[in-house]
Amino acid sequence: MMRKWHINYDAKAMTRKQRRLYAVLGAMLLLGSAVGLVLYAVRDTLVYFYSPSEVAQKNLPPGRNMRIGGLVEEGSVVRHTDGTLIEFAVTDLQTRLPVRYTGLLPDLFREGKGVVAEGMMNTEGVFIASTVLAKHDENYMPPEVADALKKSGRWQEGGAPAAATGQKP
What does the pLDDT look like over 79-93, one tens digit per residue? 888 778 999 999 888
72 within 8 A of 109, measured Cβ to Cβ:
yes
In this predicted structure, what is the pLDDT of residue 99? 94
Which pLDDT does position 33 carry in this prediction? 95
Q: What is the pTM of this model?
A: 0.59
Contact between 45 and 67 (Cβ < 8 Å)? no
Q: Identity (one letter) of the amino acid at 163?
A: A
Give 53's contacts (C-beta < 8 A, 6+ positions apart): 92, 94, 95, 148, 152
CB count in 10 Å sphere of residue 131 = 12
Average pLDDT, the chain: 79
Tell me how far apart the alpha carbons of residues 156 and 82 are, in angstroms, rounded to a whole number: 38
* pLDDT > 70? residue 112: yes
Q: Is 51 a residue whose pLDDT tops 80?
A: yes
Segment 114-137 shows an average pLDDT of 86
